[in-house]
Structure 1
Amino acid sequence: MSQLLCLFRVAVYPCFFCFALSFFCSTAFAEEPSFSAERPERFSGRAYASLVAFQDQLWLFGGTDDSGTDSANEIWSSPDGDIWTQIQIEAPGHKAVVFQNQLWLVNGFGGSVWSSKDGLEWQSQGAIGPGFVGRGSSRLVVSISSEGDERLWLIGGANFPHKFFNDVWAFDGSQWEEVVPSDSAHSYTGRRDHQVAFFLGRLWVIGGWTEDGVFNNDVWSSIDGKEWRLETAHAEFSVRREHQVVVFNDGSGEQLWLIGGIGDGGLKDVWSSHDGTHWVLRQAETQYPFRTGHAVAVFDSQLWVVGGDDLLEYFDDVWSSRNGTDWQSHVIGTDFKGRADHQAFAFADRIWVVGGLNDEYECENDIWSSTDGLRWQRHRSHADFSPRCGHRIALFNQRLWLVGGGRRDGVYNDVWSSQDGIHWQQVVEHAPFFARKDHELVVFDQRLWVIGGRGVDESLNDVWSSVNGTDWIQETTGDSSFPARARHQAIAFNGLLWVIGGEGPDGTRLRDRHQSHIYDDVWASNDGRQWHRQPVDKLATHLTQSPNEAGSMELGRGEVPFSIWTQFGSEVVVTNETAGERLWLIGGHYGNQGWSTLDGEHWVNRNPVDSRFNDTAIEGHQVLVFDNKLWVIGGTDGEFFNGYIWNSSDGRSWQKLEAWVVAD
């Protein structure tokens, strides 16, 4: 019953029942900590958590989620705000702070104090001490003297039944004491849901909810915690509570930064101040939704906002900003979406994925990239070019070039170029060649080449080249080329242009492949004009592994039938080895095996060790070389579109990566 009560929310405006319920939810399950390690996939949406930077990581402590108590006993850490690791801790209600090079947890209700040098092993540091009255919504801050000595301060808060405190407690690392002002000293008004900071050698108390039921925008400061000075009764920002304040340097010097809160409705503004008294509006509305109970910290020279709630929903999102106005989302644990007929390539030390067909059979024009294949950033939901599938992209003269593609309403013969992969310019609206998709775009002999593809009504076998991506010359006509085809593979290999397999003139869609003519041939050309069919050995070397007498695995060789026809829908890529260039043919409708050759005639079957990879027949995927590995990204088995990402250093042992979207 007690946990169900905690599902109720504290209203925007103060009331006695809401305060009592908030107090109950924070104290009902306050117990002494016990520690164990777990690693779930992500933290749940939550509010009223603590966020600190410690040992080059972000640390997230506790909070309240939609279960009322579940998140209150968790600690999470992250080196980058993207990938988080959980350390389980049963210590509800604790607030976190970094003090004397350690993490400290302080339970304002029970008064218990814990510390840790690494966030894993925790030691009890006793309690705050005699005279301290348990409370919620108190605030912690660390001060540093001119000699470098640190002190931990606990300031204000409130408890049931509705007492608002204006006391100050200080801790030097060994002993707590109440800082008692003299009879003539001024003190800030008792309050809760306020914020505190240490800035310009002074303690600061900013805004919050006072006992008269009023939200405030006053600012107080003190040099010693005893004598408090009212800096302004009404700052430039509006009255509020549950806001966040941190000290942050955006490049113009350290300032106080105030973010969001609740006032006359929800607030998502950002303010800063050089002196604590005069405040400047930096952003009226942030890109992220309104929230209260959010956690804010400074880490990696950025402001970070994590979680919170909008009084209806708890958030699990993460946002960062280097200037307090431009915010980047770090979406946690979202799947990288499946697709086929896209383009994937390596560029500027990243893997890129552009456009393609989604699981609703709609073409996209989004742009994604990743440095490791795990964490993906969506740069554009809608690029400068129109949505398309079956397009082709190549790197030429230090720029990316996109040619053609199509969607339900037709096919294109436009040409686009980009210097950064994100921003694209159209360089040719209508090239002299027929509009097409499922063609090939290759760099060979210091030129871009467009080869074959599927036009409006027919498959094509023409070959075009360009020295600049703008001016195009037709290199073949009629019988000088190979038979018309689409969904073939073309690549520069061993000083020649190669065309491998493909789908004949009567194949119209991937789902109609059983009606298509699938080619079982390999063609090569040294100039792109005259093409010659190449011999292909019908028996390929088959690599196997079997245990020897010693029990270890031993590499063996055999022979298996080989046909380009059986590899329909595969993708090709070239790697460099000591023996020379190696051509790889990976995936396809009839099996996800890997084949390779040093000469185009004699092939080796690199039977994958991982049966999950071997048993997953895919086409419409992409293959590339990145970070000295082979990568397979996306594709379809004819029924489902997957977001699979695999990599391999040898073409036999494949690792499956679970991709996350970390920025959107």
Structure 2
Amino acid sequence: MKFFLFIILTGLSLGTYAQKNTFQWVQETKEAAWKARDSQGEFVFKGNMWILGGWYTPQLPNPRDIWKSPDGKNWTLVLDKAPWEHSDLSAAFVFKNKMWMMGGRKLPGTNCSNQVWSSKDGEKWILETPNAGWSPRLAPGFVVFKDRMWILGGASDFYKNNDKTLFNDVWSSADGKEWKLELASAPWSKRTHGKAIVFDGKIWIIGGGTRAPKANSLNDVWSSGDGVNWTLVTDSAAWAPRIWFSTLVYRNCIWVLGGWAESGNIGDVWYSKNGKDWTEFKSDIKWTKRHEHSAFVFKDKIWIAGGAAEPDYKLDSEVWSLSLPEKWFADQ
């Protein structure tokens, strides 16, 4: 009798555990060594998280500094002033054992770039081309897929989002110099501030939209096995439409974190196994609502850093992490 009672109680306990989230975000540092900012480039490279450039205010030149950290707490200045000038809403990623910076906006104003830069160490940068095949733009989607770098969509003007300034073209390159137009007009609508990721052997385009003169946020999800033929996975995900959010892949799920919409900053976190069905990840301890923060998968954790946060869109240099067990999703 006691044995059966133990089984029943254990079963109830495990069921409660599966339903109640016991995993919380951890604040690794409240104030990192780099100056508070948003819209920076970020990636993981050679055992470190990296922060590059970004945005301070519309009136100030954008930062061009480069920082790295092995633990989210201790940050080292690698370079105070990189040669690239368009570091606001640029494309930043790792490809063929190099770091890459391309596109983006130069502040003040809305001058955009289609320059492509690369570096093996973050200190010495090479201009691979001053004029890529795709037109100058900010906030495109970007991924590494099938041994090529990809640029998807974006906008040529931060303040004037319209049919002429917005893009839904798709480009790829094997070396950063020569770019191939894969698709002049994708079936997903022209957009900027959306996100692209690689998941389940496909490229995914998620959300985004327009910011000015009228904000129009999206929450659609598209996927493609070749960058040319696209499938609409859902035209309305469970999370609210948004721009300036983060996406990543962790524990074999797609994650959407934070962002901004017409109603203001967003602070929720969602995950999906297939891009269509989404579940909100809730935790009692977490970062405040924010947009244009960095997001990483590093040392088997999710990390976020910086951004324009509540209250009052204040820029910060906080760093937070979240660790989930390997078989966490199976328990959900």
In the TM superposition, what whole-angstrom CA distance separates every residue of 1:491-524 from its partner, at most 9, and x where no partner exists?
Answer: xxxxxxxxxxxxxxxxxxxxxxxxxxxxxxxxxx
CA distance in 1 between partners of 2:293 and 2:206 (Å):
17
Q: How does 1:52-63 map to 2 (within 5 A)?
A: 52-63=43-54
CA distance in 1 between partners of 2:283 and 2:139 (Å):
26
Task: Note closer, same or farther for the CA distance 1:280–1:177 as it changes in structure 2 (3 Å cut).
Answer: same
- RMSD in angstroms over aligned alpha carbons? 2.2
Distance apart, 1:323 and its partner CA: 2.7
Q: How does 1:210-609 map to 2 (within 5 A)?
A: 210=210, 213-249=215-251, 254-263=252-261, 264-283=263-282, 287-310=286-309, 311-323=312-324
Is 2:85 the partner of 1:92? yes
Task: Note closer, same or farther for the CA distance 1:63–1:285 as it changes in structure 2 (3 Å cut).
Answer: farther
CA distance in 2 between partners of 1:180 and 1:293 (Å):
28
Task: Note closer, same or farther for the CA distance 1:265–1:74 as it changes in structure 2 (3 Å cut).
Answer: same
In the TM superposition, what whole-angstrom CA distance separates every residue of 1:16-74 from its partner, at most 9, and x where no partner exists?
Answer: xxxxxxxxxxxxxxxxxxxxxxxxx9211101011210000111011112585455211
CA distance in 2 between partners of 1:290 and 1:304 (Å):
15
DSSP-derived class of the 2:198 partner: strand
**Is the CA contact 1:51–1:60 (under 8 Å) kept in the aligned structure 2?**
yes
When the two structures are aligned, how many residues end up with a matched partner?
A: 271
2:196: which partner in 1? 196
CA distance in 1 between partners of 2:215 and 2:58 (Å):
28
**Is the CA contact 1:189–1:210 (under 8 Å) kept in the aligned structure 2?**
no
2:72: which partner in 1? 81
Q: Which runs of 5 or more structure 2 residues have no equivalent in the other structure? A: 1-31, 105-111, 326-332
The one-letter amino acid paired with 2:196 is V
The one-letter amino acid paired with 1:129 is A
Q: How does 1:641-656 map to 2 (within 5 A)?
A: none
CA distance in 1 between partners of 2:248 and 2:97 (Å):
19
In the TM superposition, what whole-angstrom CA distance separates every residue of 1:169-217 from its partner, at most 9, and x where no partner exists?
Answer: 1111252111126xxx861101111111011111111111149842111
Which residue of 124, 129, 141 maps to 2:132? 129
Which residue of 138, 157, 162 maps to 2:154? 157
Which residue of 28, 49, 53 maps to 2:40? 49
Distance apart, 1:265 and its partner CA: 2.8
Higher relative CO (Cα under 8 Å, sequence separation at least 6) belongs to 2
In the TM superposition, what whole-angstrom CA distance separates every residue of 1:135-186 from its partner, at most 9, and x where no partner exists?
Answer: 211122111x3xxxx11111111123422110111111252111126xxx86
| Divergent runs of 4+, >6 A | none
Fraction of identical pairs, as percent: 31
Distance apart, 1:112 and its partner CA: 1.0
DSSP-derived class of the 1:73 partner: coil
Distance apart, 1:107 and its partner CA: 2.4
Q: How does 1:624-639 map to 2 (within 5 A)?
A: none
CA distance in 2 between partners of 1:128 and 1:170 (Å):
14
Task: Note closer, same or farther for the CA distance 1:227–1:308 as it changes in structure 2 (3 Å cut).
Answer: same
Is 2:83 the partner of 1:65? no
DSSP-derived class of the 1:65 partner: coil
Which residue of 98, 103, 121 maps to 1:102? 98
The one-letter amino acid paired with 1:239 is P
CA distance in 2 between partners of 1:215 and 1:103 (Å):
30
In the TM superposition, what whole-angstrom CA distance separates every residue of 1:408-467 from its partner, at most 9, and x where no partner exists?
Answer: xxxxxxxxxxxxxxxxxxxxxxxxxxxxxxxxxxxxxxxxxxxxxxxxxxxxxxxxxxxx
DSSP-derived class of the 1:157 partner: strand
Which residue of 177, 181, 192 maps to 1:178? 181
CA distance in 1 between partners of 2:245 and 2:285 (Å):
14
CA distance in 1 between partners of 2:131 and 2:268 (Å):
35
Q: Which has the larger radius of gyration?
A: 1
Q: Which runs of 5 or more structure 1 residues have no equivalent in the other structure? A: 1-40, 325-664
CA distance in 1 between partners of 2:307 and 2:246 (Å):
11
Which residue of 149, 167, 170 maps to 1:168? 170
CA distance in 2 between partners of 1:47 and 1:115 (Å):
22
**Is the CA contact 1:222–1:228 (under 8 Å) kept in the aligned structure 2?**
yes
CA distance in 2 between partners of 1:293 and 1:210 (Å):
15
CA distance in 1 between partners of 2:103 and 2:166 (Å):
17
In the TM superposition, what whole-angstrom CA distance separates every residue of 1:597-633 from its partner, at most 9, and x where no partner exists?
Answer: xxxxxxxxxxxxxxxxxxxxxxxxxxxxxxxxxxxxx
DSSP-derived class of the 2:63 partner: helix
CA distance in 2 between partners of 1:279 and 1:47 (Å):
27
**Is the CA contact 1:270–1:284 (under 8 Å) kept in the aligned structure 2?**
no
CA distance in 2 between partners of 1:322 and 1:71 (Å):
32
Taking structure 1 as the reference length, the TM-score comes to 0.39
**Is the CA contact 1:186–1:229 (under 8 Å) kept in the aligned structure 2?**
no
